[in-house]
A and B are shown apart, each in its own frame.
Chain A
Amino acid sequence: MSRWPRWIAGAALVALPFVYHAPYPLHIAILILIWSFAYTSWSAMGRFGLTSLGHGGFMGTGAYVTALLWNRGGVSPWLGIPVALLAGALLAVLVAYPCFRYRITGHYFALVTLALGGIVLQVITATRDYTGGSLGYTPERYQGGSSLYALQFSGKTTWYLIALAVWAAGLYVWYRVDGSMLRYALEAISEDEDAAAATGVHVTAEKLKITVVSAAMTALAGALYCQYQMFISPDTVSGISVSLQMVFAAVVGGLYVALGPTVGAVITILMAEVLRISVGTRAVGWDNLVYGALLVVFIVFLPKGILGTVLAHRQR
C-alpha cells in the first residue's frame, strides 16, 4: 500500500482545528484521541493474549500521580508525567513479574490484573484526604489561564494537537513492535510458551517488556486526560468500567490492526455521547450495558473486530 494516503490523512487531521473549531465537536475529537491512545496502549499487550482487565489501574496511577505531584509538591507536569510513567511501569513490574515468572497465564493472569485495578481504585478511594476519594480531584489552576510550565491550556486547538501527537506516537510504538522480533517472540509465546522457550525465547523477559511499555503508555493517557479535563475521579480514570471499556473498544475496533483501537474509540465514545444526549440522565450506565452485550456478539461473530474484518476482506 502506498504511503501517500497516510500522509494526506495526517495532514488533514493536523489542519482540522484551524478550519473547523466548534468547541463541542473538538472536545469530542480530543477525547477520542486520548482514549484511542489508551486503547492502543492496552492492545499493545492485549493482542498477544496478555489480557489485562486492570489497565484502569495504570491509567489512574498516571492521572493521580501527575495531579498529586502538582498540587502537593508544585512539581510541573513536565517532571510529574515522567514520574507518573515510571510509577505505572513499576506497578506493572511488581504485578506482572511474579505472574510471568510463575507461569500465571490466560484467565488467571486476567484475574490478577482485575484485582490490580480493584486495588488501585481502593487505594484512591481510601486515601481520600489526599486524593479526594470518590468525589474526584482537581489539579490547581496555574495563575488563571494557559501555561506551558503547568501544561494547562484553555484553547481546545492546543489540546487537540497535543492529543493528536500522543496518539500518533502510540501508533508509532504499535508499528515498531509490529515490525520487531519482539512481535514474533510474543506471538510464539501466546501460542505455546514451552515451544517458544525451546527456540530460545526468554519468555518472562519478553512478556515483561511489552507489559511495561503498555502500562507506561496507559499511565501517559491518564496523565493527559487529567491535564485536559482538569478533573479526575476514580470512576472516570481508574474504575473497573474504564478497564473493561479498553477491552471492549479494542475488541470491537480490531485487536490485530494498528487503527483497530482507534476505530473502537470512535464507536464507543460516539455511542456514549448519543446515548447521553438522546436519553439524558435516565440512561446513566446504559452504555456499559450496551458494551457488555455487544462484546459478546463481537467475540462470537466478529473476533477480528470491525476494522480487522474490513481489512481482511479487502486483502482477498
Chain B
Amino acid sequence: MLELTRVRAGYGSFQALFDVSLEVRRGEAVGVIGPNGAGKTTLMRVISGLIRPTAGSIVMERVDLLATPPHRIVEIGIAHVPESRRLFPRMTVEDNLKMGGFLPAARPKARRRFDFVYELFPLLRERRRQLAGSMSGGEQQMCAIGRALMSEPKLLLLDEPSAGLAPVVVDLVFALVQRIRAGGVTVLIVEQNVQQVLRIVDRAYVLKAGSIRAAGAAAELRDSAIIREAYLGV
C-alpha cells in the first residue's frame, strides 16, 4: 500500500533520515519505534508531504507522493495525526472535526463521518461546543484522531499518540487504535512507548539516529536485544 525506498530527508544542512526504506501493506498495523531524535516525526512529515525528501521515493498505491502536494495526499487517503496533536485550540471540537473533512470529496460524507467519529468517541459529542484547547490531553488526542478520521482515510499516520498522557488514558487510546484498525483502516504508528505499541501492531521497525536498525514481527521484537540496545545503549 505504502512503500518508502531509500528516503533521505532533513532540515537545512541537518540530515534526519538516512536511506529509510519501509513498507506498509493494506490492513496492517505497523509500528516505528525508536528513541527521541531518531527521526520518527520527520518520517511522518515526509509521508504526509509536509517535508520534501532530498532523495528516495515514496509511493502510495502507485501514486508518487513526492510529486503530490500535501492537500492532495490527504485526498489520496492518508490522514496524519501530528505529534502533540496540533488541534486548532480556539476552534470548537466540532469545527476541528469539520476541518478534518475539509476536502471537497469528503464534504458530502461529512454527516456520516460525524456519526462515525462520535460513535467511536462519545465524549467528543458531549464536548462538541467546547473549545478544543480547553480539553484534557487525552480528550485532545481523541479529537485529533477523530479529525483525521473525518476524511475517511485508508491509511492513518499516528505520531506518538501516547505522548504526555496518563497511563490509563494511554491504554484507552491504544484500545481505540485497535478498534479503528479493526474497522479496516491501515495504521502506521510511531511511538516511544515500545512495550505497549508492540502489543497492538503486527510488525515494527526500529529507527535510531535516522536509519532503520531492525525490523520484524511485533512478537519477535518485544524481547529482542536490539530494542534494549536502541533504548539503553547497552
Q: Which residues of A contact B (CB under 8 A)?
A: 181, 184-185, 187-188, 191-192, 194-203
Contact = CB atoms under 8 A, between A and B. Distances in A.
Given A191-B90, A196-B88, A198-B86, 20 more contacts: A181-B102, A181-B107, A184-B98, A184-B99, A184-B102, A187-B90, A187-B91, A188-B102, A194-B82, A195-B88, A196-B99, A197-B71, A198-B79, A199-B74, A199-B100, A199-B148, A200-B75, A200-B103, A201-B102, A203-B71
Interface in B75-107: 75, 79-80, 82, 86-91, 95, 98-100, 102-103, 106-107
B69 interface: yes
Contacts of B203: none
A188 B99 contact: yes
A203 B107 CA distance: 18
A199 B50 contact: no
A194 B50 contact: yes
Contacts of A191: 88-91
Interface residues of B, number: 28
A68 B203 CA distance: 70
B10 interface: no
Contacts of B50: 194, 197-198
Interface in B134-174: 147-148, 151
B70 interface: yes
11 contacts: A188-B91, A188-B102, A192-B87, A195-B82, A197-B50, A199-B74, A199-B79, A199-B147, A200-B75, A201-B71, A201-B99
Nearest to A181: B102
A121 B11 CA distance: 39
Which of A181, A187, A191, A201 has the most C-beta atoms of chain B within 10 angstroms of its own C-beta? A191
Contacts of B90: 187, 191
B48 interface: yes
A111 to B, nearest CB: 23
Contacts of B48: 198
A142 B84 CA distance: 65
Contacts of B99: 184-185, 188, 196, 199, 201
A163 to B, nearest CB: 35
B82 A198 contact: yes
B88 A188 contact: yes
A202 B69 CA distance: 8
A311 to B, nearest CB: 17
Contacts of A194: 50, 82, 86
B95 A184 contact: yes
A21 to B, nearest CB: 46
Contacts of B147: 199
A192 B88 contact: yes
A203 B49 CA distance: 13
Contacts of A187: 88, 90-91, 95
A203 B102 CA distance: 12
